[in-house]
Amino acid sequence: MSTRIALVLLLLTAPVLAQSAADKGTTEPDHYPELTQAEVPLYPPIALTAHISGTVEVQVTVENGSVVDAHVRSVDIHIADPENRTVYGAQAKARVGPMLSKPSLANVKTWRFKPEGRTTFVAKYVYRIEGEQTSVPENPKVELDLPSLVTVTAKPLKPTCSDCGADISGKPVTH
C-alpha cells in the first residue's frame, strides 16, 4: 500500500510560558513540562468512515515525567450524514463521543516528559475531515503543538462503488 505521511511536527521542546489560569479560566500551568516522547496520533478509522469529527479536551497530570492521570474534560462532536439530510442530536453525539475521546486518551498516555514536579494542563485533540475525497486510504496530516494542541486532519473517503466500469446487464442467450 502506498503511503504518504504529511507530518508536521511543531514540537515546542522548551517549556512554554502560558497565560495564567486566572486569565484564561482554564487548567493551564505557568509552563508546560518538556515533552521527550510521544506516539503519533491517527484518525480513528471508524470515525473517519462514518463522517465523525470533533474536538476532545483531555486534562493531563504529569509527575516526574510520567502521565499519572488523564481524563476527558469535554467532547464536542460533529456527525455528518453522507447525504446531509440527517441532523444528529445530543444523544447521538454523546453516544459517539468515545469514538474520538478513547483514542485521544490512549495517545496522551504515550507521552513522556522531562522529570520535574507535578503539573496539570489541558491537551486539546482536534479531528478534522477536509479536502478532496479519496478512494484509497491515506495517512492523515498530523500537526502537533505539544503538549497543548494536536490536530489530525484526514481527507473524506469516497464511497466504494461496486460494478463501476463493468457491464452487469448481460444479454439474453437463445441457444
> What are the residues binding another protein (CB under 8 A)?
44-46, 48-52, 79-83, 85-86, 88, 91-92, 95-96, 98-99, 102-103, 135-137, 157, 159-173
Q: Which is nearer to another protein, 24 or 158 (CB)?
A: 158
Length of the chain: 175
Q: Which is nearer to another protein, 48 or 62 (CB)?
A: 48
Residues 94, 38: Cα–Cα separation, whole Å? 28
Residues paired with residue 101 on neighbouring β-strands, in sequence order = none
Residues 65, 58: Cα–Cα separation, whole Å? 17
Q: Which is nearer to another protein, 44 or 147 (CB)?
A: 44
Q: Which is nearer to another protein, 3 or 162 (CB)?
A: 162
Residues 34, 17: Cα–Cα separation, whole Å? 11
- Whether omega for the bond prior to residue 156 falls within 30 degrees of 0, making it cis, is no
Q: Which is nearer to another protein, 9 or 46 (CB)?
A: 46
What's the min distance (Å) between Cβ of 164 and another protein? 5
Cβ(63)–Cβ(117) below 8 Å: yes
**Residue in 135, 123, 134, 130 with CA at minimum distance from that of residue 152:** 130
Residue given cell 494542541 in the structure block? 149
